[in-house]
Amino acid sequence: MANHASADKRNRQRIQRTARNRAIKSALRTALKKARTAISAGDAAKALAPVKDASRALSRAVSQGALHKRAASRLTSRIESSLAALGR
């Protein structure tokens, strides 16, 4: 229970921000799961689109402030190197 109007406003902002970040991260996890599933199937040509979507979702999460830049870079590198390993 907020004792001041400013504390009440900060609480409302926290709730909105948490809901927004939760939606962004949920969509991101779904995209990553689809990419990893496609890669584990073993077909590089079919895995290309889900990996590209996951990379785009990671960039979007960074630009919206839901994920740190280096964390997104690390995840992008991992899925793209897994895709490249299929092409050999």
pLDDT at residue 56, as a whole number: 97
Ordered domains of the chain (ranges, CATH): 5-87 (1.20.58.110)
pLDDT at residue 87, as a whole number: 80
Sign of the Cα torsion 49, 55, 60, 66 reads: positive
pLDDT at residue 82, as a whole number: 96
Render pLDDT for 38-62 as a digit per residue (tens, 0 to 9).
999 999 999 999 999 999 999 999 9
Q: Which two tokens stand for residue 18?
A: 């948490």
Q: How many CA atoms lie within 13 A of 56 on its CB side?
A: 7
Q: How many CA atoms lie within 13 A of 23 on its CB side?
A: 6
pLDDT at residue 61, as a whole number: 97
The count of other CB atoms within 10 Å of the CB of residue 34 is 17
